[in-house]
């Protein structure tokens, strides 16, 4: 029997995505890579997992990508799968699948519902989950009319975009006029502000729409504010999913007709009663991502669950079920991203010493990744929530914060 062929788009970026290729190869798949990085720049582990690698000059050039797939198809036969697991390439992935009759993934007709935030509202509604009221940005007058309905602040972001990139909170009329004076060329969506913490449902779904693996993360503070204001970033993988979040995640899997994917679905949990969205604690839809959560999140999932989600993905693709399951007790995995320009109370070396047994990663990020995550990141595996809160407090405490606390103490005396 011939080995099945899997084309992985950009297998070496981000670095941890090579683990998908390694897991697929371990399952007997012929893994074929297409990317713009020189072959000599790939890691030895990735080179060992790839049967062949085709380098293109520009991955944005569809003709080049088409020729690459055609070449690999000619060399190795029918292509069974083509994936990047990367938000940026999802639309191009779909177009390549359609052109080469690869029927195991999303097609161009599926893109609108999962790429445009305004279109996602219908999927959440079908799942029975409320979402923020919105307005597709057109004129200042129309925006003012919408704001009279929902009030300030409002959130503006690209209707089709990735994460918190180019997302802003408009607090008042002056902010609004400033936004329209510099109105971006791409379509923007304006939404009412939701007073909630962001939580996610991360899952691996087989070809029948059945959930094979599920977990999630919680961001106690807004990633948008962290990126725009350069506040220190922190979030964590939960030890157990809350029942209501699990129910909402599964309802969305059904409503969005998810098949054969590793997904990251985002929600708010209201921190206060809201006249339109519901009572405190209500789950509210934010946006769906038909790919794994970015950055080191897959590694964090592995640490929290003592598992290998890359292997889970490969098992789902090849066998439509999991063949590798962990029996360990889940715990928390915490992320902290720190910025170079902020003076923290505790040094890098102090962190390494204090949390020596819990730390899993402590490393600087390249500039291309640092913008949304911090210049230096720390991942820690922690058994109890109290431990995690101590970890966050220790790493995030700044010299300014220490001085303010001392001043407040003196004033109280």
DSSP class per residue in 84-98:
---GGGHHHHHHHHH
Instruction: Decide: 100 and 5 in contact? Cβ < 8 Å.
Output: no
Whether the model clears a pTM of 0.75, i.e. scores above it, the answer is: yes
| pLDDT above 70: residue 412 | no
Task: Return d(Cα 250, Cα 203) in angstroms, integer.
Answer: 9
Mean pLDDT across 88-104: 97
pLDDT surpasses 70 at 5: yes
pLDDT at residue 327 is higher than 80 = yes
Residue 65 phi/psi, 5° resolution?
-65, -40
User: Quick check: 226 pLDDT over 60?
Assistant: no
Count CA atoms within 13 Å of residue 282 on its CB side.
19
For the cut 50, the answer to whether the pLDDT of residue 287 exceeds it is yes
Q: pLDDT-derived band of residue 369, with 50, 70 and 90 as boundaries?
A: confident
Residues contacting residue 214 through CB under 8 Å, at least 6 positions apart: 201, 202, 203, 204, 241, 246, 249
- Report whether 258 contacts 201 (CB < 8 A): no
How many Cβ atoms from other residues are within 10 Å of residue 152's Cβ? 14
Instruction: Look at residue 402 and tell me whether its pLDDT is greater than 60.
Output: no
Alpha-carbon distance of 41 to 30, in angstroms, equals: 21
R_g (Cα) of the chain, nearest Å? 22
Q: How confident is the model at residue 413 (pLDDT cuts 50, 70, 90)?
A: very low
Q: What percentage of the chain exceeds 90 in pLDDT? A: 84
pLDDT-based confidence at residue 407 (cuts at 50, 70, 90): very low
| 238 vs 301: CA distance, rounded Å | 9
Question: What's the chain's average pLDDT?
Answer: 92
- Looking at residue 52, its pLDDT comes to 98
pLDDT bucket at 411, cuts 50 / 70 / 90 = very low
pLDDT of residue 227: 53
CA distance to 62, 138, 161, per residue, from 186 (Å): 21, 11, 10
Per-residue model confidence as pLDDT tens digits over 134-171: 999 999 999 999 999 999 999 999 998 665 558 889 99
């Amino acid at each position: 029997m011939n080995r099945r062929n899997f084309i992985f788009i950009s297998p070496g970026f981000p670095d941890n995505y090579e683990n998908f290729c390694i897991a697929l190869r371990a399952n007997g798949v012929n893994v074929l890579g297409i990317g713009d990085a020189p072959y000599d720049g790939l890691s030895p582990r990735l080179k060992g997992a790839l049967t062949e690698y085709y380098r293109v000059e520009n991955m944005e050039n569809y003709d080049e990508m088409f020729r690459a797939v055609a070449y690999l198809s000619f060399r190795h036969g029918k292509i069974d799968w083509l994936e990047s697991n990367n938000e940026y390439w999802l639309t191009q992935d779909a177009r390549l699948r359609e052109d080469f009759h690869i029927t195991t993934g999303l097609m161009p007709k599926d893109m609108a519902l999962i790429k445009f935030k305004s279109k996602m509202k219908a999927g959440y509604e079908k799942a029975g989950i409320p979402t923020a009221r919105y307005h597709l940005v057109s004129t200042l007058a129309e925006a003012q009319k919408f704001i009279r309905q929902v009030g300030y602040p409002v959130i503006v972001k690209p209707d089709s975009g990735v994460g918190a990139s180019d997302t802003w909170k408009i607090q008042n009329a002056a902010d609004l006029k400033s936004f329209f004076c510099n109105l971006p060329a791409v379509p923007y969506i304006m939404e009412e502000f939701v007073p909630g913490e962001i939580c996610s449902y991360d899952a691996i779904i087989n070809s029948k729409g059945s959930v094979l693996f599920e977990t999630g993360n919680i961001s106690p503070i807004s990633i948008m504010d962290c990126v725009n204001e350069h506040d220190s970033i922190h979030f964590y993988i939960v030890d157990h999913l809350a029942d209501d979040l699990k129910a909402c995640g599964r309802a969305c899997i059904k409503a969005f007709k998810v098949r054969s994917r590793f997904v990251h679905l985002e929600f708010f949990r209201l921190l206060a009663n809201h006249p339109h969205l519901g009572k405190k604690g209500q789950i509210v839809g934010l946006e769906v991502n038909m790919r794994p959560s970015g950055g080191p999140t897959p590694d964090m999932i592995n640490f929290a669950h003592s598992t290998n989600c890359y292997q889970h993905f490969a098992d789902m693709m090849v066998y439509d079920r999991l063949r590798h399951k962990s029996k360990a007790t889940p715990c928390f995995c915490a992320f902290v991203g720190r910025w170079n320009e902020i003076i923290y109370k505790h040094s890098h070396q102090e962190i390494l010493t204090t949390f020596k047994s819990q730390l899993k990663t402590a490393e600087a990020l390249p500039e291309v990744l640092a913008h949304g995550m911090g210049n230096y990141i720390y991942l820690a595996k922690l058994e109890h929530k109290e431990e995690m809160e101590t970890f966050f407090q220790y790493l995030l405490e700044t010299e300014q914060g220490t001085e303010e606390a001392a001043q407040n103490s003196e004033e109280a005396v």
